[in-house]
Amino acid sequence: MSEKIEKNPVLRTFLTCRDSLARYILKMSVKQEDVDDILQEAFLRVYNENKKKEIRSPKDYLFIVSRNLIYKGLRHQSKEIATDIEDDLLGHDNKQTDVELHNQQKFKAFNDALTTLPEKTRRAILLRKYYGLSHKEISQKLGVSVSSVEKYISKGIKQCGDILIKQGYGSEKEDGESDRNTVSTLRRTKGEH
């Protein structure tokens, strides 16, 4: 066995500097349980490289290969961490963005539907849903009775809801959100109250 050690400068160097190489690896914030794996990998790489072409300074090469293995491991870990963080952040943002985009599209469709309604019906809905006026206040603004305002709003919301359903925005039973609440939902999404 000692003949093999004498004939192989990499093995001889590795055995003599193993302890200082292990301390060097530990100083680079490597876990104790990973040190032997790095030592083994460094030795094998230097040993195999020496078979191809003789290494003039095996000790220096062992330290360089060990350092590079540590850096490679750290880069891999940081990429995994960055990917996990990115996935978490983007996943959350994508969900938010999807909801916001859906609400914006639904609001646009609702506004388009509003433009198809008669003037008084459209104004009654806007005054109620967007400005939050009471039926009595709307009746005074429009110069009609409270019961007329209720009919305008009820009929107009139903017509808008039918248009939204035809455009694929579903009914209140399908998507859990009433078409009557489209305006207030968008305001909540934008942070307005």
Q: What is the mean pLDDT of each run of 10 residues along the chain (193 residues)?
A: 71 93 88 92 93 91 93 80 69 65 84 89 87 91 93 92 86 44 44 40
Asked if 9 and 75 sit in the same domain, the reply is yes
Q: How many domains would you assign to the chain?
A: 2
- Residue 88's pLDDT is 66
Asked if 73 and 127 sit in the same domain, the reply is no
- Residue 185's pLDDT is 47
Instruction: Show the domain range for 61.
Output: 2-81
- Residue 67's pLDDT is 93
Asked if 77 and 119 sit in the same domain, the reply is no
Q: Taking the CA of residue 40 as centre, how many other CA atoms within 13 Å lie in the half-sphere pointing to its CB?
A: 5
Asked if 6 and 77 sit in the same domain, the reply is yes
- Residue 94's pLDDT is 55
- Residue 176's pLDDT is 40
Residue type, 193: H
DSSP string, 113-176: HHTTS-HHHHHHHIIIIIT---HHHHHHHHTS-HHHHHHHHHHHHHHHHHHHHHTT---HHHHS
Domain of residue 123, CATH code: 1.10.10.10
Domain of residue 29, CATH code: 1.10.1740.10
Cβ(167)–Cβ(109) below 8 Å: yes
Asked, for residue 47, whether it belongs to a domain, the answer is yes
